[in-house]
Amino acid sequence: MAVGTLSPVDQTPPAQWHGVPEFLALLAYGELAAYYRLAEDAALAPTLAGKAAIARMGAAQFQHFETLREALAARGADVFQEMTSFQPVLDMFHIRTTPSTWLEALVKFYVGEGLAADFYLEIADGLPPEVAAVVKDVLTDRAHAQFVVEPVRQSVLASPKERSRLALWARRLLGEAIAQAQTVLASREELADLLLRSSGNLNRIAQLFDEVTERHQERIRLLGLED
């Protein structure tokens, strides 16, 4: 079965499908929102090479959205209808973390991509196998994000002041991302159920936030922003 193609609805037990459309829609809106936010961030790029890099990142995000839209359509769900309820909370995250500089935009993209993948891949383990394959294909396609590492490292090595400022920015991104995830899980019982179903552990949600923080620190070290 090709990635992005799901089997007919009647081949998946109803209990196994519970919460899956909502999860795919959440992920789809995350990718779509990232796409048009990147279009805005391109204006901050100081060079044509930077603008082209942003364009590549945006193209990847939009392709991810299309993959998820097709996955929902294969299950008889409309992506735009399903995404509506997630728009306010994800838009609020972007409003609260609007970058003011090119480097802030790069750090936001790199850190935000990683945080989203940490949360969503955990939930993916509770999905039907063919759906999980689609989700993991989308979330592990992050080669385009590697462009961020070198320019950020070079800038922070050259300027301790810049390093301190971006380290603070990265901590803010982590806090906002965790608050966003907590809001979504608290307001959408079906998504919390997916996470619990994947682990079978009632304490898994609290543990997940600790693990996400640890992985965030690994990305921060890679960018040269460690304390």
Residue 5 lies in a domain: no
| Residue, of 193 and 201, whose pLDDT is higher | 193
CATH of the domain at 68: 1.20.1260.10
pLDDT over 90 (residue 165): yes
Q: Indicate whether 128 belongs to any domain.
A: yes
Helix H or strand E encompassing 201: none
* Bigger pLDDT: 218 vs 198: 218
Residue 3 lies in a domain: no
Which pLDDT belongs to residue 186? 82
pLDDT band (50, 70, 90) for residue 207: confident
Mean pLDDT, to the nearest integer, of 199-223? 81
Percent of all residues in the chain with a pLDDT value above 70, rounded to a whole number: 89
Q: pLDDT at residue 92 above 60? A: yes
Chain segment 3-19, per-residue pLDDT in tens: 444 444 444 444 556 78
Cα dihedral 139, 140, 145, 150 in deg (nearest 10): 140
- pLDDT, residue 199, reads 63
| H or E segment and range at residue 34 | helix 20-41
- Note whether 161 and 211 are within 8 A (CB): no
Pick the range with the lowest mean pLDDT from 71-80, 168-177, 181-190, 192-201: 192-201
Residue 60 counted as domain residue: yes
pLDDT tens for each residue of 9-54: 444 444 556 788 888 999 999 999 999 998 888 889 999 988 998 8
| Separation of alpha carbons 24 and 201, rounded Å | 22
Total number of domains constituting the chain: 1
State the average pLDDT for the chain.
Answer: 84
For residue 24, give its domain range: 20-223
Q: Is residue 10 part of a domain?
A: no
Reported pTM: 0.84
Quickly count helices (H) and strands (E) in the chain.
11, 0
